[in-house]
Amino acid sequence: MAAVDRGIEVIRVEKPIRYRDAFRAQQHRRIAVERGEKGNALFLLEHPAVITIGRSGHAENILLSREELAARGIELHEVDRGGDVTYHGPGQLVAYPVLNLKLWKQSLRWYITSLEEIVIRTIASYGIKGEIMEGFTGVWVGGAKVAAIGIGVHAWVTFHGLALNVDPALSHFRLIVPCGIADKPVTSMRQLLGYAPPMTEVMDRLETEFLNYFANFKAE
């Protein structure tokens, strides 16, 4: 039994929410979706500064010790998603979809590509041309990463998701080797546009693109 229709409830968290609290909320929802007690959801939020390390992560991609990070107010978490090391923090739009992929398409690759496409459409509304790079998940602009993607799936219900750099402290990314890729810089919408679009506005646009994309998808 799992969610049986394609409705997606959008849940916006107004204040930055700690990584572990957001993770718990996602897992509760995922379990409810698997059991068919609740429908699909899309969490939109920001985190306080945190570095997460995924299953395929390498500790050497974090350039400071846990203590040094704590002194800067940055938490460290090991998480059960694919991918390597990621930074999250204020000014970064985080989207955690909890979707029953059986209602759309049972393909991890398709789902990741879908998230990339939604980000590309969102930033295109600001005149930014995002690209995908073969072999490097995420959305890129001129060789720099503007959005990171890392997902988890249990019984075809998704968790984790994407992080779009609207206006984060880019200096914090220098504390890690983002996604374990040393020679690819990170960028933000602020850096690309010369101004920071309001977070709520970017959330609105991403929400619209997200809901349109999944409402309009036709299974082959």
Provide the binding-site residues for other proteins, judged by CB under 8 A: 54-56, 80-83, 105-112, 137, 149-155, 160
**Shortest Å distance, C-beta 121 to other proteins:** 20
d(CA 172, CA 195) in angstroms, rounded, equals: 19
Active site residue 179: yes
Q: Which is nearer to other proteins, 55 or 129 (CB)?
A: 55
d(CA 208, CA 197) in angstroms, rounded, equals: 16
Residues 6+ away with beta carbon under 8 Å from 68:
none
**Shortest Å distance, C-beta 155 to other proteins:** 7
DSSP code for 207:
H
**Shortest Å distance, C-beta 160 to other proteins:** 8
Q: Which is nearer to other proteins, 16 or 150 (CB)?
A: 150
From the list 215, 220, 114, the residue with the least C-alpha distance to 161 is 114
Set 101, 151, 179, 186: catalytic member: 179
Q: Which is nearer to other proteins, 92 or 167 (CB)?
A: 92
d(CA 90, CA 135) in angstroms, rounded, equals: 28
Question: Which single residue is written with the structure tokens 């930055």?
Answer: 16
- Which residues are annotated as catalytic? 179
